[in-house]
Structure 1
Amino acid sequence: MIETLSDAQIQHAIFISRILIIVPFTVLVYEYLLTLRREISAFWGTPLTWASFFFYVNRYSPLFGNLPILVQYFSTTTDPNKLHLCRGLRAYHQYYALLSQVLVAVMLIMRTYALYSQNKRILAVTICITLAAFVFAVWILLTGNDSDTFSSQIAALGCPLGTSHSKFVRFDACLAGAWSGMLIFDVMIFSLTLFKALQLNARQGGLLTVLLRDGVLMVISNASNIGTYTAFTRGSATTVTNVVSSVMISRLMFNIRNPNLRLPLSSGRTTRSETAFPDITTVQPYTSTHYATNTAWSTAGSD
C-alpha cells in the first residue's frame, strides 16, 4: 500500500491517524470529568452488582487501556529494535479493541434482556450472535498475517499501520468481516429496541427514545469504522468506535438511573397497567438527590 504513496502523502496519512487517536481520547477524558458527579451520585456507595461491576470496567478501562495506544501512535524513535515493540503494541491494540467490544456487547445484552422482561429466547439469540462474532474475530487475530513493510519512509514515525498492498487487502478484508459481526449485533440490538419502543408507543423524550438515539450513534460509528479502513487509519478508526461505544454505554447506565426518563406506562389509545410495562430495571433500588428511581436490572445481572 505504501509503495504508491509519496513521503508527503504518508506523513499526511499518519497525521490523520494520530488525530483520530488523540481526539476521541480527549473526548473520553472530557466526558469522564463532565459526568463524574453523576457517577458519584448514582453509583458510589451502592452495593456492587454485575451491572455496576461492568459499568466500572467500561468506565475506567478505556481511560487506562488507551494509554499504550497513544504510545503506539505518538512515540518516535530510530531504534533499530523498534519493530519488536511495534508488533507488541499493535497486538495489544487489536486484542484490546476486541475485548472492549465484547464488554459493550455484554452490557447491551443485559439491557435488552431486562427490556424484554428477561425473555430467555432473546437472551439466547443475542448471546449466540455475540459468540459467533467473537470466535470469528479471535480466529482472524490468531491466523491473520499483518506483517508490515516498515520501510525507511516511516521508520521514525511511531508504529503506524502501513502495510503492502497485497497484505492490506487480504488481512483487512478479514478484519472488516470481523467488525461486520459486531455491526450485525448492533443492528440486532437496535432493531429489538425499536420494536419495543413501537410496541409501547414510547413518547418522545422517554428512556426508549434515548436508547434508540444511542443505538443509532453506535451503528453509525461501527459502520464508519468498517468503511474507512486504510493502511494507516484502520487502527485509529477502531479507537473512535471503541470510545463512542464506551461513552454510549456509560450514558445508558446514567439514563437508566435518571427518574426523568421512564419507560412509558400507557399509549395514546389505551390505558395500560404498570405491571404490563415495568420500568427498565438493571440495578439495585437507589435514592439520591440527583437520581431517585426504582431499578432492578440486578435481577438480570446478579443471578
Structure 2
Amino acid sequence: MKQNRLKRTLGDVAFSTFFSLPSVLLYIVFMILPLIFVIYLSFTQWTGAGDINFVGVANYQFLFNYSDFWQIMRNTGVLILLHVCFQIPLAALVAFLLFRTKQGFRFFRAVYFLPSIIAATVIGLMFSVLLNSDIGPINSILRSMGLNWMAKSWLSDPDIAMYTVTFIQVWQYIGYYMAIILAGMQSISDEVIESALIDGVNSRQLAWHIVFPQIKPVLEICFIFCLTGCLKSFEHAFITTWGGPGVASTTLALYMYKLAFSSSELGKGATIAVIIVIGALVLTRITGAVFKDSDQGGKNV
C-alpha cells in the first residue's frame, strides 16, 4: 500500500512538473533574468555599445542629487493621487449605476468602456488637437462663450500640463476599471440584493453597506492595477507634451526612456527602472495592508 501510494505521489509530482515547467522557464527567461540584468545595469555606465563600466551606486547618487528627478517624482505622485481620488471612485460609481440599470445596460456599458480599448497614442493625438492653445476646439468654444479667462495653454503651461495629462489618462481608463468592478458586482448573489431591497435599503445604503463590501478583493485589484499603471505611465505624456515644458509633465517611465534611448545612458535608465519596480512592490504591499486592515475592522465591528 505504501509503495503504491508513494508511486502515485511521485507520478503526480512528475505530471505537475512536466506541465508547469514550460511556463516556469518562460517566466525565468523573460521576467527574472531581465530583471536581474536591469539591476546589474543600474550599477554600471553603458551606452548600449562597447564596454560596460561598473560605477557602483553613482547612478543612484546622481538621481537623488538631481533636482529634476524630484520634480519627476512629484509629477508621479500627483498622477497617483489624482488616479486614486478620481479614477477608481468614478469607475465604481459608474459601475454601480450600470449595475442598477435595467434599460440600455449593454449600450451604456459599451459607451463607457470604448475609450479604454482605443490605443493610448490615438487618445494622445486626439487630445493634442483638442487642447491646442491656438487652434484647438476647446479654447475656441470657451472664447466663443465669453470665457476667455478659462482658455489655457493646456499642454504648454508648466503649472497645468501635468494635470492635463493626468485628466486624459483618468478619462480614458475609467471604463476599464468600471468593467472590472461591474463584473465583481454581477457575481453577487441576486438573493442578497433582493433581500436588502425588501428590507427597504436605499441605493446609497445598498452600495456602501452591501455591494462594495462584497467586492473588496476586486477593488483591491483595481487599486493595485491603478497604482502600478501610474508608475508605468508613458504614452500620454510622450504623445501630448514629450514631458514638457521642461520636465513639468515628465513621468518616471518617460524619464527612463529619455535617459536610456534619447541620451544613451542605459545605466541611469536602468536605475529608474529599478526605482519603478521597488515603487510598484511598495505600493502593492501598502494596498494589501490597507484592505487587510479594513477587513479586520469590519469583522471587529
Larger radius of gyration: 2
TM range, smaller chain: under 0.3
* Greater helix share, structure number: 2
TM-score normalized by structure 1? Answer: 0.26
